[in-house]
Amino acid sequence: MSEPPVAPSALLAGRTVLVTGATGVGVGAGVVAAVAALGARLVLNGLGDAELEPVLARWPDAIGVVGDVSDPAAVERMLDSAQERAGVPLDGLVNNAGVGLTRRAHEADAGDFDRVHDVDVRGVWAVSRGFARRLIAAGGRGAIVNVSSVHARATEDRYAIYASAKAAVEGLTRGMAVELGPHAIRVNAIAPGYVHSEQGLELLAAVTADAAAWARRTVERDQALPEPIGALDCGWAAGFLLSDLAHGVSGQSLAIDAGMTAQLTRRDAPV
């Protein structure tokens, strides 16, 4: 991931933002870099100290908190620790933690389904619930950004279970926006398409024998803008939704997909 450009303004100065699943190399890394560049104080979540160590080395002013988002009790302990160490209520949350699955629904087992929904749906709910309860008790205002996916709207072979989880995330986004609006808490989502990274190419080995060719075809054929999407593209969008520039925006899902979901046919389709 390239270094972020100079931020146009300190949009998030004075904010304390928790990013779950902050130890990855994809969307989460872009969110962390963008939110930091926009001036927020970072609270970074990971599954263990070993996973957090490299990211905390890069962001030494950040607070690291360990917790499995799929475990509501662990989430409560994590949020207590985060608020105690920050010294102020958290007023920004990016629910980035998630897992994927490339297996057809009729070939999957209950463990596959539970693993994806426990992290991708239960985790979003559990962290958002605890974040909102603490912020409401403190009388503050804030914003939640959930990481959804283009798969929430339309999907492809081997992604049914993952798509169902991301569709649930978008339902939670809209519902919690309605419920938390009276408490001055906005809830939105970003829905990335294919986000390019060298490390991400390694993960594509599960679905294709030639990851580089797959990525190139996706960018050139499936996107309206034939340019790669980077993790920072997702990060800047999350930063906007966390900021006061999005004061009137809640219950929405913003596609970061270079026009993929707007395009009716693939570029190589016959006309």
Q: What angle do CA 205, 30, 179 make, to 5 degrees?
A: 105
Q: Buried b vs exposed e over 240-255: b needs ≥16 C-beta within 10 Å? A: bbbbeebeeebbbbbb
- DSSP conformation class of 40: P
Q: Which tokens belong to 178?
A: 């309605």
Q: What angle do CA 206, 208, 213 make, to 5 degrees?
A: 135
Sheet containing strand 185-192, edge to edge, reads 63-66, 41-46, 16-19, 92-95, 142-147, 185-192, 253-256
Residue 172 and residue 178: Cα distance in Å, rounded?
10
Residue reference for tokens 């992290």: 119
116 close to 106: Cβ distance less than 8 angstroms: no
Q: Which of 159, 162, 236, 240 is catalytic?
A: 162
- The set of residues, in sequence order, having a beta carbon less than 8 Å from that of 210 and lying 6+ positions away, is none
1 close to 25: Cβ distance less than 8 angstroms: yes
Among residues 65, 55, 49, the alpha carbon closest in space to that of 35 is found at: 55
- DSSP conformation class of 260: G
Is residue 162 part of the annotated active site? The answer reads: yes
Residue reference for tokens 């169902």: 164
Residue 102 and residue 134: Cα distance in Å, rounded?
36
**Positions marked active-site:** 162
